[in-house]
Structure 1
Amino acid sequence: MRRLAFSIIGVIAAAAIAIGINMFADARLANAQLDLTQGHIYTLSSGTKQILAGLKEPVTLRLFYSRQLGSTVPAYGSYADHVREMLRDYAAASNGKVHLEFYDPEPFSDTEDRAMAYGLQGVPLDQGGSQIYFGLAGSNLEDDERTIPFFQAERERFLEYDLTKLVYELSNPKRPVVGVMSSLPLDGDPRTMMMTQGRGPGGQPYASSVLLRQTNTVKTVPTNAQVIDPDIGVLLVAEAQNLSPATLYAIDQFVMRGGKLMAMVDPWSEAMAATPSPDGMPPRDTHSDLKRLFDAWGIEFDPNQVVGDLTGAWRVRTTGNDTEAAVNYVAWFNIRDGINHDDPATADLQQVTVASSGFLSKAPNAAIDFLPLLSSSDRSGSIPLDEVKTPDPAKVLAGFKPQGGPRVIAARVRGVLKSAFSGPPPRQGNETRPAGFPPFRARTDGPANMVVVADSDILADRFWVRVSDFFGQQSATPFSDDGPFVANLIGTLAGSDALIGLRSRGDTNRPFTLVAEMQSDAEARFRQTQQALQQHLDDVEKQLRTLRSGGSGEQEKQDAVITPDQQAAIGAARQDVLQTRQKLRAVQLELNRDISQLENEMRIFTIVLVPALMTVLAIGMGILQRRRRARARR
């Protein structure tokens, strides 16, 4: 009895200790977590934590999620759990600045009306017409709002980037100021308008410029500027020709002071070549370069070479010997597989078109990170610049030889940079220093962030939109993603450095890659055997039909007399058919044998082995405890 009482007391004490540990963990360790997932999809990045820690005003995030969606499509249920967990992590890391609200918008309810008022996207789930929701609405104290209309499953790996961007924009609601320095008539060309007398698209603002102004405050920076306006956060230098040392110095010092730069250079600008010069003649030189800056920053660009690519080359019309034909012009091509889908700015782009572009590379021993965004294919090569100035597409194609690839056409550059100057450049002629001329800085205080593109024709309408006139209104229909490419990159640069540093993570949909590999190997191993057996079965069945008919004609089939030898052959054929069918079934079973074996092993591991190990561990600890007690009694 005494031993039984001690046992009961021990069980009660163990239960009390377990309950106490759970209560302590719930109170003290609620936010503790151990993320063992590949890609650490449940761990906030340092950039996100930096933005959350820097919040000065409260931000409210409202998740509208229809539970019916998760019950109907389980994949969205797990995605919703991921979103909720990440939102709770945001709230925990914000020192109370992020407030969370969760809603289930049932059909025709006030909550659904609220979701619609925020502009969230309702999606029909069945024929009944009811809408389901899975979106986020955020607001700040000034009633500025940002939304994610619907969490697309394809963007789950960018979930942290999308959430952090939304929070950052709510904490910094002012529109980013983007400076544009270009020799191209991005905002329209009055001379061309006068020449066309308002007919056709000539002289209209570039569609890419219109798109950029939709989300940013754009300021024009002259190509002879000596100082960049300090209000400008991102500077776009696109096909800026013949820049003076003073203007190069202004760009250099803008970067040294932490400004974000997107530089678009070009060995041959097709857009500039199509823009008439003041004398009405096409320009002879349309190249643009930032050689002095690039050399100091560790970026290589050859303005005398153009990239050609057989993959995605445009079909253009060419004339020769009084005939007209369509040929591949390898200097103009669409990029599809060469888009970096791990970068948030280019993740959703399907196609980017480039024309007479150059290529970039990281200089040897340069202390920068060089991340390609656009690259040519393995069937690319370089073309001398002179061949594209007055091109003969057929001749260019005939002389083109792929030289392997890929060649980088656009890249993100990040790193601590040194100035390309040792001080302000000497004044030229009657040049004067403007008021507020900033003091010289020899290097960046921290890592600089910029994007470099070796093609400025990405901006030109002819390479990404079809412009049509509809009763006097210009309508642009995109066929490529050039405009969004520029706008998205400017958008990421306009965010904080922490936001730029975010990259794609993993997603919660973890496929059984081992099982998939086993299925693929098994299918490759047994498919040939299966096909051979099936062919043999077809031949035997055909032979059996012939034996049963006694011939091939209908009359012969009716009058046929089956001999004993034929009967024996029919019996052997039937047996052969049965054996072949058994072999086919065996092959089919063999196809899944390894997978079934793996499934059984996992069941044994989870159902039997783990509890057995815990039991052995408990017994071992009990034996060890008893020995200690026995030693203590001695």
Structure 2
Amino acid sequence: MSNKRGNNRTLFTGVALALGVLLLISVNLLGNSAFRNLRVDLTEDKLFTLSDGTEGLLHTLEEPLLLRLYFNQNLANEFPAIRDYARRVRDVLAEYVAASNGMITFEVMNPEPFSDTEDDAAGFGLQGVPVDAAGDRLYFGLVGTNTVDEQSVIEFFRQEREPFLEYDLTRLIYEISTARKPVVGVISSLPVYGGPGNPRAGEPAFKPPWAVITQLEQIFEMRQINLDAGPVDDDVNILLLIHPSNLSGVSRYEIDQFVLNGGRALIFVDPLSEESAKTPDPENPLAPKSSALPDLFKAWGMEIVPGMLVADARAAQRVQTSEQGRTVVVPYLPWLSLEAPNFNPEEVATSQLGRLNMRSAGRLEPVEESEVEFIPLIQSSPESMMLERFYVQFGGNPTALLDRFEAQGIPYTLAVRLNGNVSSAFPNGPLKAETSAGGSDAGSEPLGEVPEGHISQSVEPINVVVVSDSDMLVDSTWVQTQRFLGRTLTLPVADNGAFVANVLELLGGGADLIGLRTRGTGQRPFKVVDDLQREAEALFRETENGLQQRLEETEKKLSEMRSGGGVNLEMLSEEEEATIAAFQKDLISIRKQLRDVRHELRKDIEGLGTILKAINIGVIPIMVGIIAVFVSLLRRRYRRRALAMQ
């Protein structure tokens, strides 16, 4: 009877096991089909969660796109950082595919050395990095193509751009899904496109376009426009205003309507245009050369402080000047050389700039109770103060400005991005043509009836970037010119051109690109280890310094004893020889203590590593074993109780 019961139990166990395996397979198949698009991002910075802007772009794709990642997995295994980054790139691209509703196809290509795939990668312009003596090249780039074989590439996924991974991928998709380059309408009171020069002043007979315009023409379709002639052309995506002084009421109205209708704008105003001051007004030579759009700025929730310049002791450029008949180099407070701490690291346009040069920049402030988002892009250091324009307008004395300087302890905004819904600055239509030097009308009378199609409220949140200096675009501010083989070469010494290109590229991409922010990286520092290392260094550094000083003193004394002021070492007394021997012994002891102290710097870290290894190797398996024993005992107990009841 017991054998029969045992056989039945064995049969039941086998059937239950088979059913369990079948159930597991069924659940996996069902989950794979029913929850294919279900993902949970548990990373701290949501590294694998696409932003609303990216998802909006993917949902509006009208043609299929092909993304091909060229990556040498075998070569990358020798470089763990690149290997891990490649895994994140693949995972993020999988999120793009999942969110594209079938419009994006993703392939991974392995460009092995001397293969056709490697030739394709090189043909697309991807960058291969040599990794060994044999000349094998590691490829880690992306090629995107559309149905008419237009392409855009990321030559190599550099790790320093990991926080911008989503932006770079979304920009690539935007480029191959958009038919043409963004059109930039240029409005300027300065000769940015060149013009007749003054040979008497050492200028060429015809001055070429500014370097920033030449650079932008390689990326965008640049077009000069006249706002007085009528509305902005429908195909213009962005307005670029450079020192817009004395704009008529009609011109400012057209800017207002363009921005309210979803157009983007990058505006360079100036409390003191040093470039414009080179050609003073003959009728009023003492008038300051400034530009502003106060009525538009007020409607957009900001203002530029009139007649004031930002002076920054920390960022001031050093210039040569004469003082009491001798040449000295001193900081010139209104000329700024701004670096990484002055740039907003959360904004794509500024997060990777190295240096920007500005001259006589102004201060931008938000208007009280404005609901428009005021996002600083560039700020001065806290060692800044506001300086009256008068002290610089006719050639400021650097030394006198330093004597007047008193740091206020707060940074001032030099460039800002505005985002939000706004109302028209001209609710009754354009104003009469009379203007003042600052860009606002002498009067505020409407020109006539409100034009047909007048927009009173923005159709979507505006995106406008305002910079408080136009001289930063002048060639002498950020490029050096050299002659080479009969050609004129411009060599950037600052990132002014890159900043302009970044902002226009961002604005040209529409709201989907503008809304993107930097993300964290997939690399996570060992914070506990870092804290231990800092504590250990703080604890032992003083001891190490003391020993190092003793070591130097002992070596010095030993050297003096050995030289003996020119005395023959063979004539030293036994006492002197004993002293030298004692110094040598002390020297060896100090060096040993110094090695011990330096070893202590790593001891706690190595101890932590040992503990972590012990936990991973021993504690966790032991815990699993204890749980298994407990479950086994529990099951045996229930089995005995069941047998007793039978």
TM-score normalised over the length of structure 2: 0.86
**Secondary structure of the corresponding residue to residue 50 of structure 2:** coil
- Pair 1:453–1:201, CA change in 2 (3 A): farther
**Secondary structure of the corresponding residue to residue 64 of structure 1:** strand
Indicate the residue corresponding to 2:395 in structure 1: 391
* 1:481 pairs with one of 492, 495, 517: 495
Whether the 8 Å CA contact 1:465–1:478 is kept in 2: the answer is: yes
Question: How far apart are 1:289 and its partner, in Å?
Answer: 0.7
Q: Which segment drifts farther, 153-162 or 315-324?
A: 315-324
* 2:247 pairs with one of 239, 243, 246: 243
Whether the 8 Å CA contact 2:249–2:433 is kept in 1: the answer is: no
Indicate the residue corresponding to 2:406 in structure 1: 401
* 2:480 pairs with one of 447, 456, 466: 466
**Secondary structure of the corresponding residue to residue 286 of structure 1:** coil
Indicate the residue corresponding to 1:316 in structure 2: 319
* 2:179 pairs with one of 160, 173, 180: 173
Indicate the residue corresponding to 1:288 in structure 2: 291
Alignment of 1:9-88 (within 5 A): 10-88=16-94
Indicate the residue corresponding to 1:504 in structure 2: 518
User: AA paired with 1:308?
Assistant: A
The answer on 1:598 being equivalent to 2:608 is yes
- Pair 1:5–1:354, CA change in 2 (3 A): same
Question: How far apart are 1:615 and its partner, in Å?
Answer: 5.6
Whether the 8 Å CA contact 2:430–2:446 is kept in 1: the answer is: no
Question: How far apart are 1:468 and its partner, in Å?
Answer: 4.0
User: AA paired with 2:256?
Assistant: D
The answer on 1:518 being equivalent to 2:532 is yes
In 2: Cα distance, 1:335 partner to 1:545 partner: 50
Q: Over residues 421-451 of structure 1, what are the superposed CA-to-partner deviations in whole Å (9 max), with x where a residue is unaligned?
A: 32314556999889x9552222223321111
Alignment of 1:324-335 (within 5 A): 324-335=327-338
Whether the 8 Å CA contact 2:300–2:418 is kept in 1: the answer is: no
User: AA paired with 1:590?
Assistant: E
Whether the 8 Å CA contact 1:274–1:282 is kept in 2: the answer is: no
- Pair 1:628–1:149, CA change in 2 (3 A): same
Whether the 8 Å CA contact 1:327–1:393 is kept in 2: the answer is: no
In 2: Cα distance, 1:411 partner to 1:276 partner: 29
Question: How far apart are 1:351 and its partner, in Å?
Answer: 0.9
Whether the 8 Å CA contact 2:184–2:236 is kept in 1: the answer is: yes
Alignment of 1:214-225 (within 5 A): 214-222=218-226, 224=228
The answer on 1:186 being equivalent to 2:192 is yes
In 2: Cα distance, 1:505 partner to 1:245 partner: 43
In 2: Cα distance, 1:576 partner to 1:12 partner: 77
Question: How far apart are 1:162 and its partner, in Å?
Answer: 0.4
User: AA paired with 1:259?
Assistant: G
Whether the 8 Å CA contact 1:272–1:283 is kept in 2: the answer is: no
Question: How far apart are 1:315 and its partner, in Å?
Answer: 3.0
Q: Which segment drifts farther, 420-429 or 119-128?
A: 420-429
**Secondary structure of the corresponding residue to residue 306 of structure 2:** coil
Q: Which segment drifts farther, 199-208 or 264-273?
A: 199-208
The Cα RMSD (Å) is 3.7
Indicate the residue corresponding to 2:273 in structure 1: 269
* 1:101 pairs with one of 90, 107, 112: 107
Question: How far apart are 1:525 and its partner, in Å?
Answer: 0.8
In 1: Cα distance, 2:388 partner to 2:143 partner: 52
- Pair 1:570–1:560, CA change in 2 (3 A): closer
Whether the 8 Å CA contact 1:227–1:437 is kept in 2: the answer is: no
* 2:149 pairs with one of 121, 143, 163: 143
The answer on 1:411 being equivalent to 2:416 is yes
- Pair 1:498–1:612, CA change in 2 (3 A): farther
The answer on 1:115 being equivalent to 2:125 is no
Q: Over residues 55-76 of structure 1, what are the superposed CA-to-partner deviations in whole Å (9 max), with x where a residue is unaligned?
A: 0101111211123441232211
Q: Over residues 144-192 of structure 1, what are the superposed CA-to-partner deviations in whole Å (9 max), with x where a residue is unaligned?
A: 11111111111111111001001011111311111112111111123x3
Alignment of 1:195-594 (within 5 A): 200=204, 203-222=207-226, 224=228, 226-275=230-279, 284-319=287-322, 324-337=327-340, 338-394=342-398, 395-425=400-430, 439-469=453-483, 473-535=487-549, 557=570, 560-561=573-574, 584=594, 587-594=597-604
User: AA paired with 1:407?
Assistant: Y
Whether the 8 Å CA contact 1:371–1:413 is kept in 2: the answer is: yes
Could you list the runs of 5+ residues in structure 2 that have no partner in the other structure?
Answer: 1-5, 435-444
Question: How far apart are 1:502 and its partner, in Å?
Answer: 0.7
Question: How far apart are 1:574 and its partner, in Å?
Answer: 9.3
Question: How far apart are 1:312 and its partner, in Å?
Answer: 3.5
**Secondary structure of the corresponding residue to residue 224 of structure 1:** helix
Q: Over residues 18-39 of structure 1, what are the superposed CA-to-partner deviations in whole Å (9 max), with x where a residue is unaligned?
A: 4444444444444433222221
Q: Which segment drifts farther, 208-217 or 154-163?
A: 208-217
- Pair 1:526–1:584, CA change in 2 (3 A): same
- Pair 1:124–1:585, CA change in 2 (3 A): closer
In 1: Cα distance, 2:283 partner to 2:490 partner: 27
Q: Over residues 74-96 of structure 1, what are the superposed CA-to-partner deviations in whole Å (9 max), with x where a residue is unaligned?
A: 21111111111222221111111
Q: Over residues 245-303 of structure 1, what are the superposed CA-to-partner deviations in whole Å (9 max), with x where a residue is unaligned?
A: 332222112111111111211100112112465x5996733101111111222213112
Question: How far apart are 1:100 and its partner, in Å?
Answer: 1.7
- Pair 1:486–1:555, CA change in 2 (3 A): closer
Question: How far apart are 1:582 and its partner, in Å?
Answer: 6.7
Whether the 8 Å CA contact 1:69–1:76 is kept in 2: the answer is: no
Question: How far apart are 1:527 and its partner, in Å?
Answer: 1.5
Question: How far apart are 1:608 and its partner, in Å?
Answer: 4.2
Question: How far apart are 1:319 and its partner, in Å?
Answer: 4.5
User: AA paired with 2:250?
Assistant: A
In 1: Cα distance, 2:243 partner to 2:470 partner: 6
User: AA paired with 1:222?
Assistant: N
**Secondary structure of the corresponding residue to residue 133 of structure 1:** strand
In 2: Cα distance, 1:201 partner to 1:144 partner: 42
In 2: Cα distance, 1:466 partner to 1:576 partner: 59
- Pair 1:556–1:70, CA change in 2 (3 A): closer
In 2: Cα distance, 1:583 partner to 1:321 partner: 57
In 2: Cα distance, 1:537 partner to 1:45 partner: 59
- Pair 1:364–1:330, CA change in 2 (3 A): same
In 2: Cα distance, 1:437 partner to 1:474 partner: 49
- Pair 1:622–1:26, CA change in 2 (3 A): farther
In 1: Cα distance, 2:110 partner to 2:288 partner: 62
- Pair 1:295–1:517, CA change in 2 (3 A): same
- Pair 1:576–1:285, CA change in 2 (3 A): closer
Could you list the runs of 5+ residues in structure 1 that have no partner in the other structure?
Answer: none
Question: How far apart are 1:362 and its partner, in Å?
Answer: 2.0
Q: Over residues 401-432 of structure 1, what are the superposed CA-to-partner deviations in whole Å (9 max), with x where a residue is unaligned?
A: 22223211112111122222323145569998
In 1: Cα distance, 2:302 partner to 2:571 partner: 88
In 1: Cα distance, 2:32 partner to 2:19 partner: 20
In 2: Cα distance, 1:198 partner to 1:574 partner: 72
Q: Over residues 372-406 of structure 1, what are the superposed CA-to-partner deviations in whole Å (9 max), with x where a residue is unaligned?
A: 21111222221101111102333223322222232
Q: Over residues 436-470 of structure 1, what are the superposed CA-to-partner deviations in whole Å (9 max), with x where a residue is unaligned?
A: 95522222233211111111112111101123455
